[in-house]
Amino acid sequence: MTAEELQNIARQHDCPAYVYDAHKIIDQYKRLENAFAKVPKLRIHYAVKALSNLSVLQLFNQLGSGLDTVSIQEVRLGLQAGVPAHKIIYTPNGVSLSELEEAVELGVQINIDNLIMLEEFGTLHPEVPVCIRINPHVMAGGNTNISVGHIDSKFGISIHQLPHILRIVKNTGMNINGVHMHTGSDILDIDVFIHAADILFDVARNFDDLEFIDFGSGFKVPYHENDISTDIEELGEKLSNRFDQFCKSYGKDLTLAFEPGKFLVSEAGYFLARVNGVKQTTSTVFAQVDSGFNHFIRPMFYGSQHDILNVTHPDRKARFYSVVGYICETDTFANNKLISGISDGDVLAFKNAGAYCFTMASNYNSRFRPAEILWYDGVSHLIRKREVFDDLVRNQELVSLKLDDHAAKVDAQ
């Protein structure tokens, strides 16, 4: 999107606001589909937790995507957006048996990632098809916060426990229709990913009635020019071939599934915030915006570096700024960022704000969560209103304690 388009949206809808470029979402979806065009049965499950607005889910539904969900509420959002239950996979971690049962009632595919739950569920419902989440113990990226396939991770059933899995499946007579892995974010080395996939194929050979193999996600997207990213086309080439070989030896064409979040929506998103003040100190120039980690926490939580554009004055001489928020706590969005000269009232756009941004927003400091806008073909559709004061007090009960009674009792003692 151009600076002018973003500036117009800010004028129309005010700040702070998230803007999602539907064209970019569609392009990324098609790019992934094309990379795996050789696979006869491909299923993309968009990971709802990255960006869960109903209109975005509806867009994925229109593209033919399924959904990957991690809570029963995400399942419900998917159903409400019109996604058929059979295209939704539910991959929770550490949830109760009753939540799994609820998901089955709603008709979605469940994925179990713990041995005790597998045994319990299989004993009670041997007829329900279940996918198993395997932890192949492969380190995907450098950062252990976002890499979830390594040895210390809480996710998935360890590959070393395969004999126990098989015993449970045999004892309960349960039906395993899929195997799954999700090694976490930021896959940079395709060969490491293929290595993990090979481990999953070895697991898959132990089950006779599989319908799909789900390779999770963890595709890295670029955050700035010349940034490294997962080469989806190379992955498509290599994994499609491997998958084809596997299906031949398995004797059946299985569905190859993925569940990307970041890859599909990160680059489509822009977070718009307005500059309340430019402050020159002895060491730097601060640009203070009408936002904070209540709206956009990735820079503080993950240390992610988002490019920032001055969409009001995109063509001025660039200067180095520290961009900070208005929260009563350290809330630095960026240090020493080169941005086109900022004046009070300018609108800044933070890039890569589609994934894990609005969905992590809170009401900290009793601020309203931002508006969300879906942009398509030159039209900006408001898909979530900015909150208002009533939203902050809804669900609260104003209780007045009878302090005098208590004081009287204390006095009497």
Ligand X SMILES: *Cc1c(COP(=O)(O)O)cnc(C)c1O
Counting contacts by CB under 6 A, is residue 298 touching ligand X?
Answer: no
Counting contacts by CB under 6 A, is residue 28 touching ligand X?
Answer: no
Half-sphere exposure of 259 (CA within 13 A, CB side): 24
Phi/psi of residue 141, each to 5°?
-120, -175
Stretch that binds ligand X, among 216-224, 240-248, 272-280, 321-329 (CB under 6 A): 216-224
Closest-by-Cβ residue to ligand X is: 261
> 216 Cβ partners below 8 Å, 6+ apart?
180, 181, 182, 183, 258, 259
Counting contacts by CB under 6 A, is residue 261 touching ligand X?
Answer: yes
> 320 Cβ partners below 8 Å, 6+ apart?
284, 285, 336, 337, 338
CB 332 within 8 A of CB 29: no
Compare residues 181 and 275 and give the one whose CB is closer to ligand X. Answer: 181
Of 134, 149, 132, which is closest to residue 192 (Cα–Cα)?
A: 149
Counting contacts by CB under 6 A, is residue 70 touching ligand X?
Answer: yes
Counting contacts by CB under 6 A, is residue 290 touching ligand X?
Answer: no
Shortest distance, CB of residue 392 to ligand X, whole angstroms? 29
Q: Which of 182, 274, 295, 298 binds ligand X (CB under 6 A)?
A: 182
Compare residues 69 and 322 and give the one whose CB is closer to ligand X. Answer: 69
* Residue 271: both structure tokens together: 């977070």
* Residue 244: both structure tokens together: 């084809």
Shortest distance, CB of residue 221 to ligand X, whole angstroms? 9
* Residue 234: both structure tokens together: 């190379």
Of 73, 214, 76, which is closest to residue 134 (Cα–Cα)?
A: 214
Compare residues 135 and 217 and give the one whose CB is closer to ligand X. Answer: 217
Q: Coil, strand or helix: which one is 241?
A: helix
Q: Which residues pair with 171 in a beta bridge?
A: none
Counting contacts by CB under 6 A, is residue 183 touching ligand X?
Answer: no
Counting contacts by CB under 6 A, is residue 21 touching ligand X?
Answer: no
Q: How far apart are CA 38 and CA 51, in angstroms?
A: 29
Counting contacts by CB under 6 A, is residue 384 touching ligand X?
Answer: no
Residue type present at position 41: K
Counting contacts by CB under 6 A, is residue 169 touching ligand X?
Answer: no
Site size toward ligand X, by CB under 6 A: 18
Counting contacts by CB under 6 A, is residue 60 touching ligand X?
Answer: no
Of 56, 55, 7, which is closest to residue 28 (Cα–Cα)?
A: 56
232-265 core/surface letters (b: 16 or more CB in 10 A; e: else)? beebbebbbeebeebbeebeeebbbbbbbbbbbb
Counting contacts by CB under 6 A, is residue 178 touching ligand X?
Answer: no
Q: By CB under 6 A, what part of segment 35-54 binds ligand X?
A: 47, 49-50
Active site residue 328: yes
Tokens 């718009």, residue located? 272
User: What track of x and - describes contact with ligand X for positions 101 through 140 (by CB under 6 A)?
Assistant: ----------------------------------------
Compare residues 90 and 350 and give the one whose CB is closer to ligand X. Answer: 90
Half-sphere exposure of 169 (CA within 13 A, CB side): 19
Q: How far apart are CA 174 and CA 96, in angstroms?
A: 19
Counting contacts by CB under 6 A, is residue 267 touching ligand X?
Answer: no
Phi/psi of residue 268, each to 5°?
-75, -15
Q: Which of 243, 246, 263, 350 binds ligand X (CB under 6 A)?
A: 263
Q: How far apart are CA 93 and CA 200, in angstroms?
A: 19
Q: Which of 135, 153, 185, 310 binds ligand X (CB under 6 A)?
A: 185
Counting contacts by CB under 6 A, is residue 92 touching ligand X?
Answer: no
Compare residues 59 and 311 and give the one whose CB is closer to ligand X. Answer: 59
User: CA angle at residue 222 from 149 to 276, to 5 degrees?
Assistant: 110
Shortest distance, CB of residue 119 to ligand X, whole angstroms? 21
Compare residues 135 and 185 and give the one whose CB is closer to ligand X. Answer: 185
Q: Of 15, 131, 247, 328, which is the active-site residue? A: 328
Shortest distance, CB of residue 153 to ligand X, whole angstroms? 11
Q: Which of 141, 178, 218, 269 binds ligand X (CB under 6 A)?
A: 218
Chain residues that interact with ligand X, rule: CB under 6 A: 47, 49-50, 68, 70, 91, 182, 185, 216-219, 259-263, 355
Query: What are the catalytic residues?
Result: 328
